[in-house]
Amino acid sequence: MSPTEYHFRHAVSAFFEMNRDAAKALLPPHLEPFEPHHGLAVFAVTTFDFVKSEVGGYQEIVLAVITPPLVTSTGQWPRSAFYPFVVGTNTEASRLHAIERWHLPHYMADVSIDFDEGPEHVGIRVREAESPILDVTVRAHKWTRVDHLYQSFMFDRGKSFKSNIHMAGEFTEHEEEAGELAIHRHPMTERLLDADVETYPFRELWMKNGVQTFEGLETL
Amino acid sequence: MRPSRQQADEPGREREAADGAETPSAEAEEAESREDYALDYDYSNFFWGTGDDAFGVLGPFEEWFDIARPRGYYLFGMPMQTPPAARADVVETKDRQRLSGLINFASYNYLGLSHRPEVIEAAVEATRAYGTGASGSPILSGTMEIHEELARAIAEFKGQEEALLFPSGYSANVGIIAGLMRSGDLVVTDQYAHASIVDGIILSKANVRYFRHNSAADLERKLRDFGGRKLVILEGVYSMDGDLAALPEIVEVCKRNKTRIMIDEAHSAFLFGEHGRGIAEHFGLDEDIDIHFGTFSKTLGGQGGYVAGSHMLIKYLRGFARARVFSCALAPGVVGGLIKALEIVRTEPQLRRKLWDNVAYMQKCLKERGVDIGPSESQVIPIMIRDDDRIFEVAEDMIHAGVYLNPVRYPAVGKHRSRFRISVTAGHSRDDLREGADIIARVLERNGFL
C-alpha cells in the first residue's frame, strides 16, 4: 500500500493522566497502557482540521490511550504510540474511508469541531448538534519544523494492526500544565467519565500547516 | 540498516557520505534522520522492548545512546577529581579534559561537611576501630555500637522517640513505605514525588493517587472517597524547583481525613527550622507528622537514610522494612563521619545562617541579572531554560566558562521545563556566588536566553 497523505491546517493534541486500570479496559488484550507514573496511564485527545485528503477536507477527533511503541533497530525511532478507541468526524465519507482502510473505530454520527485560534492558544469545541462532547484548550511554546514518527495500533474483529504515521509540519510542545479539558456526558466519552481523567493536560502539542502520512497497514 | 559503532562514534561520517553521493542511500538518509532527531528522544522511548527477546531493546537503545551521548548525555556522571567543595575539578568525558577550579553548584554538600577535617578524622577513627564494612545485616551481626549511637543522636535531634538507619535514602523510602502499606491501602503523594517514594509504593502494592503539586484542594479530592488505610507522603523541599511543601494546608487536610502523614526531608533536614530539624520544625508542625524521613548524603555529607518517629513505628519497621533487613548495615567509617557531622550541625548554627545568607545573596544576584529562577524558596535554585533542544549546548558552554551545574531535562522534569539546578552551599564565598552569577548570566545572554 502506498503512503496515504492527509494535509492539515491544525493538529492539536493534549495528554491527560488517567487511571491505569480504566485505560487498560479501553485496550485490546495484547496492548498495555504507557505508565508515566506507577498507577497512571495517558489519555490523549487529538483533533485535526484536514484541508486535503482522498476524501476532501474534514475535521476529526481521536480519543486514544497512549501505549508503548514497538522499538526496532531499523528505521526512525517512534516518538510514541497510541490506540484510538473512538474517532469522530464531520463527514460520512471520511468515516467510511478510515474504517475501511485503517480499521479505526468510529462514532457514526457527524460531530462538529471548532478551532478557535488565538496568538498563543487554540481552543477546541466538539459537539454533536447542540450536545457538547468535549472542550479542550492548548497553549503554544516554541515553534519548530519537525517530521515525527508515531505508531497507531488498531484492533478489528479479532485482528491486530499497526500503522506508522509521520507528522510533518510546524510544531510546538510543552508540559507547562497550562491547558484545560472538560469532558461532557456523551456516547463518545461515556467510558471516560469514571476514569479519573485529569482536568488539565500534562503535555500539550500543536501542529500547523502540515501533513500526516500513513505508511501502510501491518497485520500484527 | 544498523549504523556501525564507528559511524555512531563519528557523527559526521554518514552525512559526509550522503553529501558526496549523487543519490543518498536509504541507509544514509535514515542515519541522518537519527542524527537530527537524537535529542528528540530520551530514556522513556526505550523503556519497553519489542518481541519475545528480553534483550530486544538493547540494540535500539545503544544505537540511540551512542548518538545522543556526545550531544549532551555525557554531561551526566562526569567524574570529579576533588572533594565536592565550592570549587571542584571535573573530567569532561567527551574530550577527556580536566576542567579545574569550576565553581561547584552541582553538589548537595549544603553545609560543606563532607570534607571538614574533623568529619574525615572521625570517619578514619571509626574505620580503624571497626573496619571498612559492617559485614552483616543490621538485624544480624551488622549493628555496631556506633550505629546505635547515630540512631539515638538522630532521634534526639529530630525530637522523636526513636530512629532507624538505612543504607541509602532510596532504600529508606522503599523500606518505610513497603514495610507499612499493603495491597488495598491507599498512598497519596505529590505529583513531583521522588522516584524512591514511587518505587516504595509499587513494592507495597498499595493503590496510589497523585495530587497536583502542593495543592491541598486536590489532595482532599484524592482522599475523600477512600475508606481504608491511607498514607500521604510529601517532600519538605522539592528537588527540581526548590519550593517548599505547603505543609500547614496539607496537615489540615490529613487531619480532616484521618490520614497518616509522612514527610521526606532529604533536602530540608539539618537546614530548616530554628534548630535545623527540617521543614516540619520550620512550620511548627513537628508533632503533626507521623513519619519523618531523611537522608545522610546531602547536608551531612555522608551516605544513608533514616526514619524517625514513635517507638511503636520503629519497632514495627525494624521487622518489616525489608530494604533494611536484607541489606548490609552502613559502613562504620560513614557512620563515624555522620556522628561528627551531626554534632557540627548542632553546635555550629552559624553554618546554617551562612547558608541562608548565601542563598539570599545568590537569588538576589541572579534576579538582578534577569535570570529566571522559578519558584525557589531554598538552597536549590533552578535556572529555567525551557528548551529541551538547547539545554545541553548551554550546559557545555557553562562548564567551559567555569561553573559546574546540573542540566535537567525530560523525563526528570516536564517537556520544555528544562533547567539547570544549582545548589548553593555554606561553603561558597560571596566572590564564588557573584562570579558564578556573572558567568551564568553571560552564558545565558550569549545563547539567547537573556
Q: What is the DSSP letter of B76?
A: T
Number of domains in chain A: 1
- Output the nine-digit C-alpha cell for A110: 457527524
Please identify every stretch of chain B with a pLDDT value under 50, giving residue numbers as ranges: 1-21
Chain B environment of A173 (Cβ under 8 Å): 415-416
| Contact: B208, A174; criterion CB under 8 Å | no
Chain B nearest-CA distance from A94, in A, is 32
Flag if B30 and A75 touch (Cβ within 8 Å).
yes
Query: Å from A30 to nearest chain B CA?
Result: 12
A74 neighbourhood in chain B, CB within 8 Å: 1-2, 30
Distance from CA of B449 to the nearest CA of A (A): 13
d(CA A203, CA A178): 9
Per-block average pLDDT, block size 10, for chain A (220 residues)?
A: 92 95 94 91 97 97 94 79 97 97 97 94 95 95 92 94 96 90 95 90 95 94
pLDDT at B102: 98
Helical residues (DSSP H) of B189-296, grouped into ranges: 195-204, 216-224, 247-256, 279-282
ipTM for this prediction: 0.80
Q: How far is A7 from chain B (nearest CA, A)?
A: 22
* Cα nearest neighbour of B199 on chain A: A38
Domain span at A163: 4-219
- Taking one residue from A and the other from B, the number of pairs with CB-CB distance under 8 angstroms is 81
Interfacial residues of B (vs A; Cβ cutoff 8 Å):
1-2, 30, 33-34, 37, 40-41, 45-50, 57, 59-60, 63-64, 191, 198, 201-202, 207-210, 386-387, 389, 410, 414-417
CATH number at residue A69: 2.40.400.10
Nearest to B60 among A68, A77, A146 (CB): A77
Nine-digit cell at B398?
A: 557553562
Q: Which residue has the cell 486514544?
A: A64
Residues from chain B that touch A175, judged by Cβ atoms under 8 A, are 410, 414-417
The CA distance from A10 to A116, in Å, is 11
Assigned C-alpha cell, B177: 513505605
Nearest by CB: A174 against B63, B208, B416: B416
Contacts of B439 (CB under 8 A, 6+ apart): B103, B398, B401, B402, B403
> What global pTM score does this model have?
0.88
Q: Which chain A positions have a beta carbon within 8 Å of B58's beta carbon?
A: none
Residues of A in contact with B64 (CB under 8 A): 77
| Inter-chain residue contact A79 with B209, CB threshold 8 Å | no
Per-residue pLDDT, B56? 85
How many alpha carbons fall within 13 Å on the CB side of residue B363?
A: 17
B52 CB contacts (<8 Å, ≥6 apart)?
Answer: none
B164-B170-B174 Cα angle (round to 5): 70
Taking the CA of residue A153 and the nearest CA in chain B, the distance in Å comes to 14
Q: From the list B64, B386, B417, which residue is nearest A77 (CB)?
A: B64
A206: how many CB neighbours lie within 10 A of its CB?
23
Query: With an 8 Å Cβ cutoff, are B202 and A38 in contact?
Result: yes
Helix (H, G, I), strand (E, B) or coil at B240: coil
